[in-house]
Amino acid sequence: MKIISVVGARPNFMKIAPIIKEFSKYIKKGYNLEHSLVHTGQHYSPIMSEMLFQQLGLPEPDINLGIGSGSHGEQTGKIIIEFEKVLQEYNPDLIIVVGDVNSTIACALDAKKLGIKVAHIEAGLRSFDMDMPEEINRILTDAISDFLFITEKSAITNLSNEGVSQEKIHFVGNVMIDTLLSHLEKAKEKNMTKELGLISNEYVVVTLHRPSNVDNECSLESIGNVLAEISKNKTIVFPVHPRTRNKINEYNLDGLFSKENNILLTDPLPYLEFINIISSSYAVLTDSGGLQEETTVMGIPCLTLRENTERPSTINDGTNILVGLSPSNILNTYNQIDKSIKRKIPEKWDGKSAGRIVKIILEKFSVTTT
Ligand code: UD1
């Protein structure tokens, strides 16, 4: 059996790492299996890509399409053109795509039109907000995938409502949490908090990159003002995504997001260093999807600066609270954080999801030792 896994953007790397490790185990045991990794190059700067590959123990991609940045149409279109050539040359039996980025839908579409089976990991999540490019990518990818591996039960309802048949849906848990649990000890040994001069529980970590938050001058400035208020009591650490960095510069907001306001801006951090600072933070303010899940497992309060989430189990079970963009709502919720309340870890977020996924794939394709 020939399989191609696809990665493109930062969160994809954490999701595919445990899958590749799992396949390697079966390949070592002599299973009749060939696996290749394709990086579309959607994220290309060393800090957003290369360093994460190293830390996660990912093999060098067999192919890097080198697509880079561009408008959605341009980026998605270029990936479609280039990945089709790869499929024609390799002719795999299955491709695996993860998450909801432009690379996910582009590659799924190519494969499906060539009659190649598609497995989508992290299927069925819905924010019901079609202004999010990721929501469009999710719906379209799920509509054409053959195997839908889901992280939480809300996805069963979502997919059923869209007419996806039950036999395609597999509730396996969360591969991003596999990666978190297997790297947590190593991450805690890092010295990032010390290097940044942070005191445990006395700082708040912020990440922002959603176009709806950062591509709008008013929103970005309003968020900056909220952070300046919070930073009167706790240091703010803000590893800045390249998109957000560009916008802070463009809108001349450097004075607001500054050391003078007790807001520490850093480059995006490598995975282990990032988990290191999250693990002893007081709270997290974010618009990221993955971070809502990681904070839930680490028991760190997470205020999500969005009106919706496609990950309801992080709210129902975990530490996540949707606060939207209203400054008073963000500050009120922040002031009511109670770290003594114990929350649950969602079902099957136990570090064994990749094992479940690979087992299902090998069974469905009747792969055995040669
Ligand atoms: C993408 C994903 C988003 C995911 C996020 C994680 C889509 C539609 N969006 O958003 O779902 O949560 O990645 O980071 O696929 N840039 C660099 N270096 C890089 C990559 C990007 O400088 O390595 C800059 C470029 O100027 C680019 C901007 O960041 O224009 C945005 O990158 P892009 O890949 O378009 O989308 P993200 O905002 O990163």
| CA 42/CA 6 separation, integer angstroms | 11
Each residue's pLDDT tens digit in the chain (370 positions)? Answer: 999 999 999 999 999 999 999 999 999 999 999 999 999 999 999 989 999 999 999 999 999 999 999 999 999 999 999 999 999 999 999 999 999 999 999 999 999 999 999 999 999 999 999 999 999 999 999 999 999 999 999 999 999 999 999 999 999 999 999 999 999 999 999 999 999 999 999 999 999 999 999 999 999 999 999 999 999 999 999 999 999 999 999 999 999 999 999 999 999 999 999 999 999 999 999 999 999 999 999 999 999 999 999 999 999 999 999 999 999 999 999 999 998 988 999 999 999 999 999 999 999 999 999 7
Q: Is the pTM of this model over 0.85?
A: yes
Tell me what pLDDT residue 109 has: 98
Tell me what pLDDT residue 110 has: 98
The H-or-E segment that residue 97 falls in is: strand 94-98
- Assess whether the C-beta atom of 244 lies below 6 angstroms from ligand 1: no
User: Which residue lies with its CA nearest to atom 28 of ligand 1?
Assistant: 243
Which is it for strands 283-286 and 302-304: parallel, antiparallel or unpaired?
A: parallel
Question: Helix, strand, or coil here: 8?
Answer: coil
| Candidate of 6, 7, 43, 102 to mutate for ligand 1, largest count of ligand atoms within 8 Å of Cβ | 43
Q: Which two tokens stand for residue 349?
A: 């977020």
Cβ-based burial of 139 (10 A; exposed 0-12, middle 13-18, buried ≥19): middle
**Residue 209 designated active-site:** yes
Q: Which atom belonging to ligand 1 lies closest to the Cα atom of 103?
A: 15
Nearest to 141 by CA among 171, 173, 166, 164: 164
**Distance, CA 244 to ligand 1 centroid (Å)?**
10
Residue spans of alpha helices (H) in the chain: 10-28, 50-56, 72-90, 102-113, 133-144, 154-161, 175-189, 192-195, 211-214, 217-230, 242-250, 271-279, 290-298, 313-316, 327-335, 353-364
- Assess whether the C-beta atom of 45 lies below 6 angstroms from ligand 1: yes
CA angle 271, 314, 333 (to 5 degrees): 95
Tell me what pLDDT residue 341 has: 87
- Assess whether the C-beta atom of 102 lies below 6 angstroms from ligand 1: yes
| CA 16/CA 7 separation, integer angstroms | 7
